Amino acid sequence: MAEGIVKRHSRKCPFHDGKRCRCDGGWEAWVYLAREKRKVRKTFAREDEAKSWRAEASSAAAKGGLRVVAYDKRTLYEAVTEFVSGMEAGTIRPKGKGAYKPNTVRSYERAVRLHLRDSELGMLRPPDVRRDDVQAFADGLLAKMAPHSASNALNPVQAFFARGLKEGKLGHNPTEDVDLPAGQSKRPRRIVAPAEAARLLAALPAEDRPIWATAFYAGLRRGELQALRCMDVDLGGSLIHVRKGWDQVEGEIEPKSEAGKRTIPLLAVLRDHLDEQLLRTGRSGTDRMFGRSADQAFYASTIDGRAKRAWTAHNLAEREVAEEEGRPADLLTILTMHECRHTFASILIDTGANPKAIQEVMGHSKIQTTFDVYGHLLPGSYDDVRARMDAYLSACEPLPAG
């Protein structure tokens, strides 16, 4: 029998009388923690389960990741539900931030309600959950949804265990190294050149051009555009101050991170659009810059729908003209508002902005986010590096002997 694993026997088992075991008392595995001078014990129905847990626990103990903690008698569903409630109340906060975004809380709550509540994983006690339990749960999710959706459904469980381990309330994190494909978004991220951005704006209804121009030429997120007030636009100083975000249920909210509060240079090409917006609406001060009224944010679906219809109509007319003239149609790329933000980032890169400046203007809390999202656009791609090195080494080659 493996060290640290013993067979359990019921009180009436013949084993106690020196006879052959005839009970199903299960197996007990333990790991000794030298610092606490105590054993961490756990029981299992089968010996192979006990061996698997002990191997994982021994590895965690060697890394300092196994602790003696109080046994959590709640089911995992109950524990994660309380965890999400704490996120909503603000008693549980993300690292380095004031609170979770309302949309994140709603996403977690929905995942727990739809996927964890009636699952086998949800009925286990948190200390009893093993990696293979989480893997089985993940595999079940993948069988009925796309990888990115399965990842979203698993997020609250991962966050719960990660926090519990960090705070010493749990002795292990069974969600680590779970095999779950990263998945791809339904559509690749698209950007357009400045000339096409101007054509896209020209094809829109006049009243919608200022808001899309601000997405193209200032890179604001949709929620930041909804929350933007007239006083946030400093025409005299040629600056736009991003101070708030917008949640579709909660309304005006604080930005996701402190980096979200930022000042963006107001480009000359955007100034005319914002001047026109202020003159047309007569708004000022605390009025919503792009609201459906002075004190109400715009409906994203309304703005998106009008733009899509305008661009689709433009492309239809262009196809007809191109067919008559016997040439290829020069069609517009129909973008989302967030893709306009990506276009703004590409313009920053094309004009030579360094990564730190891009991070600050885009409102990323970490520069790694900037590299992850826009690294493929930054100077220094593999082909660029190869060409530069070839040119440098060629210049360093010795002249042929005369």
Pairing type for strands 38-44 and 233-234 reads unpaired
Q: Write the pLDDT tens digit of every residue in 357-373.
A: 889 999 988 888 887 78
Asked whether the beta carbons of 169 and 276 are under 8 A apart, the reply is no
Residue 361 to residue 240: CA distance in whole angstroms? 11
Residue 169 CB partners (closer than 8 Å, separation 6+): 69, 70, 72
Q: Write the pLDDT tens digit of every residue in 5-20.
A: 988 888 788 888 888 8
DSSP code of residue 136: H
Residue type for position 350: D
Whether 382 shows a pLDDT value over 80: the answer reads: no
Gyration radius of the chain's alpha carbons: 29
Q: Write the pLDDT tens digit of every residue in 322-336.
A: 999 999 999 999 999
Residue 60 exposure: Cα atoms within 13 Å on the Cβ side: 23
Tokens read off for 367: 């520069």
Q: What is the pLDDT of residue 223?
A: 95
Tokens read off for 144: 């009925």
Residue 367 to residue 358: CA distance in whole angstroms? 9
Whether 186 shows a pLDDT value over 60: the answer reads: no
Q: What is the pLDDT of residue 371?
A: 78
Whether 121 shows a pLDDT value over 90: the answer reads: yes
Whether 232 shows a pLDDT value over 70: the answer reads: yes
Residue 43 to residue 376: CA distance in whole angstroms? 50
> For 13, phi and psi rounded to 5 degrees?
-65, 135
Tell me the CATH architecture of domain 76-166: Orthogonal Bundle (1.10)
Per mean pLDDT, which range of 75-79, 162-166, 226-230, 301-305 is the poorest?
Answer: 162-166
As a whole number, mean pLDDT of residues 386-395 equals: 67
As a whole number, mean pLDDT of residues 112-118 equals: 94
Whether 385 shows a pLDDT value over 60: the answer reads: no
Q: What is the pLDDT of residue 353?
A: 84
Q: What is the pLDDT of residue 188?
A: 63
> Which segments of 120-267 does DSSP mark as H helices, in order?
120-123, 131-142, 147-166, 194-202, 209-218, 222-227
Domain boundaries 194-325, corresponding CATH code:
1.10.443.10
Tokens read off for 145: 């949804």
Asked whether the beta carbons of 253 and 101 are under 8 A apart, the reply is yes
225: how many CB neighbours lie within 10 A of its CB? 27
Output 205 or 383, whichever has higher pLDDT: 205
Strand partners, 246: 252
As a whole number, mean pLDDT of residues 146-166 equals: 91
Q: What is the pLDDT of residue 311?
A: 97
* Dihedral sign computed on CA atoms, order 8, 13, 16, 19: negative
Residue 143 to residue 139: CA distance in whole angstroms? 6
Q: Break the chain into its structural domains and give their ranges.
A: 5-62, 76-166, 194-325
Residue 340 to residue 119: CA distance in whole angstroms? 40
| 299-315 residues labelled b (16+ CB within 10 A) or e (exposed) | ebeebeeebeebbeebb
